[in-house]
Amino acid sequence: MNTTKVKAYSATSATSPLAATTIARREPTPSDVRIEILYCGVCHSDLHFARNEWNFTQYPAVPGHEIIGRVTAVGSGVKKFKVGELVGVGCLVDSCRTCPDCRDGFEQFCTSMVMTYGSVDKHLGGGTLGGYSQGIVVTEDFVLRIPANLNPAAAAPLLCAGITTYSPLRHWKIGAGQKVGIVGLGGLGHMGVKFARAFGAHVVLFTTSPGKTADALRLGAHEVVVSKDEKQMAAQAGSFDFILDAVSAQHDINAYLNLLKRDGNLTLVGAPNEPLPVAAFPLIFRRRSFSGSLIGGLPETQEMLDFCGQHNITSDIELIRMDQINEAYERMLKSDVKYRFVIDMASLK
């Protein structure tokens, strides 16, 4: 298969820093879109993947699944996109298209989904290579339209952090008259606050850092609860319709289950490495439920982007150069970012 070379940043082992390299992209097939990447968000998953912390990384590894770019070529059969359009690519670049999940538009649950990085590349062999690169070629069905009024750099994190928080809020039908908790004010949590507020809910942000209060209120929270303060937590008991938990570290989940009303739900979108102990009584006594959620399918991701266009919602970002990525990872580990790093891919030229 014919390929084109593009510049990229890759890790060559679990312990090596990311460094400049050149990778191959396929020539567009009739259904493919070639995209010049303008911006790529930096997700915590990128770091886990680069360092093989989930034990499936093939090297060289090119992370990046919050991609914003411009269409530079389309295959002969492409109907949805034209050269010059602003587009996005999220966590998925393909799926089986035929299973019940794919038919229902839930490609994120397809057991044959092809992730933007870390899956097997059906066209070129080896692993799929992500957005820390100048260009990517993706089948048109997995390319998303980006509303023209959004700042393209700040729109990049919508492709993972945005849909990860939008999807469960929609699934649990969050709206006016409901009280919603968001646990953790990071890349995911700050988007959860924005969406819950835009959906009309009363939004309470839970944080371990009292220093985040002013920012949480600015981002749209109506109240901020310092979760280490037992009095503040007790005052919220039994009052929530829904809680979105975006914390990826070990924490006391039962303290939050106790804050739900009868039939309330707590959905986990953070991914702690160790199992969380869940007590039975908080669930049984108020018929509460505890569940999870994973990004979103292609139809819902486009719906989320269109919603962001209508409501002018983007991520709060810190724009970095490609060669600052290793430093950005160290800062991300310390939660020292407000609230998402985005790489300006012009810096890779």
Name the site residues for Zn ion (rule: CB under 5 A): 43, 45, 95-96, 99, 102, 110, 160
CB-based contacts of 179, cutoff 8 Å, min separation 6: 201, 202, 204, 239, 240, 241, 242
Nearer to Zn ion, 191 or 201 (CB): 191
Exposed/middle/buried for 275, CB within 10 Å: 0-12, 13-18, 19+? exposed
Nearer to Zn ion, 41 or 181 (CB): 41
Structure tokens at 332: 């991300």
CB of 66 to Zn ion, least distance (A): 7
Nearer to Zn ion, 165 or 227 (CB): 165
Nearer to Zn ion, 90 or 152 (CB): 90
Nearer to Zn ion, 102 or 348 (CB): 102
CB of 176 to Zn ion, least distance (A): 29
- Which phi and psi (to 5°) does residue 153 adopt? -65, -45
CB of 139 to Zn ion, least distance (A): 14
The residues with which 158 forms a beta bridge, in sequence order, are: none
CB of 193 to Zn ion, least distance (A): 18
Q: What is the DSSP string of 258-269?
A: TTEEEEEEEEE-
Whether the Cβ atoms of residue 113 and residue 103 lie closer than 8 Å to each other: no
Nearer to Zn ion, 63 or 282 (CB): 63
Nearer to Zn ion, 94 or 241 (CB): 94
Task: Give the whole-angstrom CA distance, residue 5 versus residue 24.
Answer: 5
CB of 188 to Zn ion, least distance (A): 9
The angle formed by the CA atoms of residues 314, 319 and 322, to the nearest 5 degrees, is: 130
CB of 187 to Zn ion, least distance (A): 8
CB of 246 to Zn ion, least distance (A): 12
CA-based nearest residue to 271, from 64, 43, 63? 43
Task: Give the whole-angstrom CA distance, residue 41 versus residue 44.
Answer: 10
CB of 248 to Zn ion, least distance (A): 11
Nearer to Zn ion, 99 or 319 (CB): 99
CB of 41 to Zn ion, least distance (A): 8
Query: On the CB side of 234, how many CA atoms lie within 13 Å of its CA?
Result: 3
Structure tokens at 31: 């259904």
Task: Give the whole-angstrom CA distance, residue 349 versus residue 345.
Answer: 8
Task: Give the whole-angstrom CA distance, residue 205 versus residue 211.
Answer: 13
Nearer to Zn ion, 157 or 282 (CB): 157
Q: How many CB atoms lie within 10 A of CB 332?
A: 19
Type of residue at 255: A
